[in-house]
Amino acid sequence: MVRFENVGLRYGMGAEILRDLTFDIAPQSFQFLTGPSGAGKTTLLRLILLALRPTRGLISLFGADSATLDKNALMALRRKVGVVFQDFRLLDHLTTYQNVALPLRVQGKDEPSYRAEVLELLDWVGLGQRLHVYPPVLSGGEKQRAAIARALIMRPELLLADEPTGNVDPQMARRLLRLFQELHKSGTSVVIATHDLNLMDQFEGARRLVLGDGRLHIYD
């Protein structure tokens, strides 16, 4: 699904901040990406999303070499990837329902054709009663769940979540983890970037990708 071979990244003429990254993300897998703050977790997620170009090495996404992709092909691949951003990136002038339906709306689909699906998903993440509430009124956990629902509405094959439990209490963190586990069971590959050890301990079967000193250590 995702393959990195000897990938390195530097900004400008500076030293490499990520080097010699070689790993795979298999279909229907679950992994935590961890490491200290500033280790490059978000940067690695952006590389997987092809929002950054590596300075060296090969990245392939769904079998396609990232170096040979044109803009349209890149967009088509990105649509197979759901992303939950650390800062949620919900649009404040849209309601919860509208934010979650946004990926379908931008595809030009008619609202009645996806309404039931969006409502189901919002129920599933526990926001069925918060459909018409705007993000500034939502709590941190509600925003996080809305962001997760938005990432899932396109039924992605791969979900990338950047510190999804960073703004919620431990109880909400466990609830969010259960959401990701259910998603994983349904066939989606999940990558969760976190430095929350308690969260990782709750899912011991998950693979751990640990970033440190710009290198990646894998614990299957």
Partner 1 sequence: MLGFPARRPEADDDSQQSWRENWAETPLVPAASVAGAALSVVIAIMTFLAALTASFALLLTQASHDWRGQVGAEMTIQVMPRPGRDLDADSRKAVEIVASFPGLRDARALSKGQSEELLAPWLGAGLDLGQLPVPRLIEVRRDGSKPLDEIGLRSALAAALPNANLDNHGAWMQRLTTMADVVVASALGVFALVLTAMGLAVGFATRGAMAGAREIIQSLHYVGAADSFIANEFQRHFLRLGLRGGAIGGGAAALLFFALGALSRQWTTSAGGEQAEAMFGAFALGWDGLAAIVALSLGVAGLTGLASRVIVHRSLRALN
- 60 bridge partner residues: 3, 65
Cα 101 to chain centroid, rounded: 17
Site for partner 1 in 38-67 (CB under 8 A): 49, 51
When asked if residue 95 is in the footprint of partner 1 (CB under 8 A), the reply is: yes
- 142 bridge partner residues: none
Stretch that binds partner 1, among 17-25, 85-93, 166-174, 196-204 (CB under 8 A): 85-93
Q: Which residue has the tokens 């390195």?
A: 8
Stretch that binds partner 1, among 32-40, 82-90, 169-177, 206-214 (CB under 8 A): 82-90
Q: Could you tell me how many residues of this chain bind partner 1 (CB under 8 A)?
A: 42
126 dihedral zone (left: phi>0; alpha: psi -120 to 50; beta) = left
**Burial class of residue 74 in the structure, from the number of CB atoms within 10 Å of its CB (0-12 exposed, 13-18 middle, 19+ buried):** middle
User: Which of residues 92 and 201 has its CB atom nearest to partner 1 in the complex?
Assistant: 92
Q: What angle do CA 90, 96, 100 make, to 5 degrees?
A: 70
Q: How far is the CB of 27 from partner 1 (least distance, A)?
A: 13
Q: 7: which residues sit within 8 A by CB, 6+ positions away?
A: 18, 20, 21, 22, 47, 54, 56, 57, 58, 59
User: Which of residues 36 and 128 has its CB atom nearest to partner 1 in the complex?
Assistant: 128
When asked if residue 149 is in the footprint of partner 1 (CB under 8 A), the reply is: no
**Exactly one of 56, 109, 185, 217 binds partner 1 (CB under 8 A); which one?**
185
When asked if residue 178 is in the footprint of partner 1 (CB under 8 A), the reply is: no
User: Which of residues 107 and 129 has its CB atom nearest to partner 1 in the complex?
Assistant: 107
Cα 56 to chain centroid, rounded: 23
User: Which of residues 53 and 217 has its CB atom nearest to partner 1 in the complex?
Assistant: 53
DSSP reduced 3-state for 64: strand
Binding region for partner 1 (CB under 8 A) = 49, 51, 71, 74-75, 78-79, 83, 85, 89-91, 93-95, 98, 102-103, 105-108, 111-112, 115-116, 119-121, 123-124, 132, 150, 152, 154-155, 182-183, 185-188
